[in-house]
Amino acid sequence: MTKPGLNEESGRLQSIIYPDKRQDLYVYQNGSYSPEADNAPGAFTAGTRTDIQTIVVRGTVDQPDGIACKTTIFSI
């Protein structure tokens, strides 16, 4: 695995490139998180609030935004 790319402005992880040319691209979005009762997943609403949603796109070096119908995108 190569050294992760860091966003110079925020200091947050921007991407990881693996030896087989897979790439994890990290996107950060400000907004508001509202938890649900009984440990159910909450809801995130994009906006100017201080909560941050991290979105990971699993693509490749050649197609960092992914390949239609073959790419995993998830929030953490």
- Who wins on pLDDT, 4 or 17? 17
The pTM of this model reads: 0.74
Please state, in angstroms and rounded to a whole number, the distance separating the CA atoms of residues 64 and 74. 14
Residue 3: Cβ within 10 Å count: 7
pLDDT at res. 27: 87
Please state, in angstroms and rounded to a whole number, the distance separating the CA atoms of residues 36 and 38. 7
Instruction: Write the CA distances from 32 to 2, 3, 29, 38, 45, integer angstroms.
Output: 33, 31, 10, 19, 5
Domain boundaries, the chain: 5-75
The residue whose two tokens read 């906006």 is 47
Mean pLDDT over residues 36-61, rounded? 87
CB 5 within 8 A of CB 14: yes
